[in-house]
Structure 1
């Protein structure tokens, strides 16, 4: 991916740097949450419930926050608040003494992630030209993948290769990891407070509210055009979902994100059952994150050569098939790593593609709301899929949770294939 010029890229690089820090914190904390639940005596069903709790608050607030991003002048402040709430969620997880309190702390963590993500996405949609959206979303999601690489690695290093599930040593390591996660998230705040110019020809944060209002349908003065276009109606979830293609793209985004959550929550459980130490599980999750970084770095070149739809199908089918196999070979780390690399590469393509496809499917003044609707769909998946995964894991074991999510990925790919043929 070619770097942006200093004139147009400083704001994006600051956002990417902050995203890397905050997502490293998030992906350090989330696998550690599973080990904390195991230390508290939780089973696979409880892990599924707690994983679902992570998305409950975002589910009921995502649409409202999306509309807020269309009106707010200073998106930077929302991103800062998101980083701070992430840190608070990590500290709350350390203090939680029961599975119910862990679930509550996870909900706070999820709210921080939503605030950060929705404001960051809205900033890119607002300040990037249409032909630069793939690059902007690609770098933003590459930062998320960088966090998905570094976070599990740190978690594995901190939790080590020994210690019983509920030993004092393991509990002390869990506490250290959670505090480190909180500190990393707070480090993103000074990065976000650095002022940087947005690209020329695009509105500054300070002027975004007025620009959004103008884009929403103000009529031009007499003589500026031969006809006066009708003002666009206010963006709503129903209107956005009626736009052709949007529901299909949302299903793809939902299944891709659910796969990330299920892997992060249940691969440690699969490893614990098979006797694979946390350090190896952290390394395997990091391989998946590193592969996603690679795919997102090359996304602009791939998008130039292949259609976005074709790349999205590769993402859905490839990740659904490749990621179903690691639970079967988890005791052969090198083979599991190869499969997670292949699945992670495919998985990494999908999220920025769905952002671009949804953004370009709706009017420009609806983009913040449309991305929020996408996040609502993602959070529905993050609530429903872990619940389903937990139920499947009860009779089949934790590997069943991963297999059920892979089936949803392949199903989403089939929906897109059949939709095109029809």
Structure 2
């Protein structure tokens, strides 16, 4: 899909704003779901299962949605995604059992997937090759802003005093539903209307196997999976770690938001870092440092040291997502960018199913800090793939 020359970059700003509210709602809801599940009697393993169900429906829906987007409009997925996120948050707040919590968490995850596939495809379609790193970096600032504000908001609303955890976590989920709905206001005139393309070789469906065998695509998928798994398990399990170490929910929210603020800082300076270090060195170095820092969370650190560790970790994790998007888009065969991005998201969701479930199992046997050692191993693998480079670019 060739980039579309549209009037300025106002569409990207509107997309970033919408993404910030949608992601803010999800980032507020994820720890709220964990706290509400704890108030309903969940243990570490049940938290892992609920976190995994968030990714289960998207695991099966990503590729069909990507196929549709490759040969149609992207924008309709955005309001659909916002509606599902808002509904999933609200119904999670009203749920009275752990199976209900898991089901509505899955609806929330499906909504997030719809929004992200539509939004990433718009960025890929409307960005010239030289602008992709910058535009994907700016696009993911929206996600980082949501991840910054969401946990703080959750921490301000949720309280464990005097048995108020059940009531306040439900309230946080209802507030998250309202935050998601604000995204609708920024969804106007984001996708440029392009003329219909004639049928040709690029209009044919490229088999999924061929896309996955294209050099650069598997590496981009795994790096994205590892980075997102780290962010996801941090969001879901830092509250559990906080409960075991006596850290208040408000402090946990601040710690998660500090991580997100560092990610925003990273993406604001992405272009000069790429110019100085290059893509391969930047990916490899940040994944390697993130692996060591994730494993460090398992240590019984004081809160101030944990804050420093999470800030540096957040900066390192800020590189993987935008660069993996560009890696996959550049490597994908012609006419299959959205499907390749959807496969990347399928890998993400597979990680979000397997990683929390594995984390829950590991935490049940080895303690709540053990899943962070597992994340360190994942990121170490991502650093190895990053060191190999993305291979030759596909001619466009």
TM bin, normalised by shorter chain, reads over 0.9
Is the 1:266–1:402 contact (alpha carbons within 8 Å) kept by the matching residues of 2? no
Specify the structure having the higher radius of gyration (Cα). Answer: 1
Aligned residues: 386
After TM superposition, list the pairs within 5 Å mapping 1:177-256 onto structure 2: 177-192=172-187, 194-195=188-189, 204=192, 206-207=193-194, 210-211=196-197, 217=201, 233-256=204-227
Could you tell me how far 1:412 is from its partner in structure 2?
2.3
Could you tell me how far 1:390 is from its partner in structure 2?
1.1
Distance between the aligned counterparts of 1:9 and 1:418, measured in 2?
A: 34
Secondary structure of the equivalent of 2:295?
coil
Secondary structure of the equivalent of 1:407?
helix
Q: Which residue is equivalent to 2:344?
A: 374
Q: Which residue is equivalent to 1:156?
A: 155
Q: Which residue is equivalent to 2:394?
A: none
Secondary structure of the equivalent of 2:299?
helix
Distance between the aligned counterparts of 2:203 and 2:71, measured in 1?
A: 15
Distance between the aligned counterparts of 1:366 and 1:350, measured in 2?
A: 22
Secondary structure of the equivalent of 1:323?
helix
- State the TM-score, normalized to the length of structure 2: 0.93
Is the 1:32–1:174 contact (alpha carbons within 8 Å) kept by the matching residues of 2? yes
- Farther off after superposition, 169-178 or 293-302: 169-178
- Farther off after superposition, 60-69 or 398-407: 398-407
Unaligned stretches of 5+ in structure 1?
199-203, 218-230
Secondary structure of the equivalent of 2:331?
coil
Distance between the aligned counterparts of 1:88 and 1:71, measured in 2?
A: 28
Distance between the aligned counterparts of 1:9 and 1:163, measured in 2?
A: 47
Is the 2:293–2:313 contact (alpha carbons within 8 Å) kept by the matching residues of 1? yes
Is the 2:280–2:389 contact (alpha carbons within 8 Å) kept by the matching residues of 1? no
RMSD: 1.9
Matched, 1:406 2:376: yes
Select the residue among 359, 374, 385 that pairs with 2:329.
359
Is the 1:270–1:327 contact (alpha carbons within 8 Å) kept by the matching residues of 2? no
Distance between the aligned counterparts of 1:188 and 1:418, measured in 2?
A: 39
- Runs (4+) of structure 1 moved beyond 6 Å? none
Q: Which residue is equivalent to 1:131?
A: 130
Is the 1:236–1:369 contact (alpha carbons within 8 Å) kept by the matching residues of 2? no
Is the 2:281–2:387 contact (alpha carbons within 8 Å) kept by the matching residues of 1? no
Distance between the aligned counterparts of 1:81 and 1:135, measured in 2?
A: 27
Is the 1:52–1:382 contact (alpha carbons within 8 Å) kept by the matching residues of 2? yes
Unaligned stretches of 5+ in structure 2?
391-396
- Farther off after superposition, 267-276 or 359-368: 359-368
Could you tell me how far 1:95 is from its partner in structure 2?
1.7
Could you tell me how far 1:171 is from its partner in structure 2?
2.0
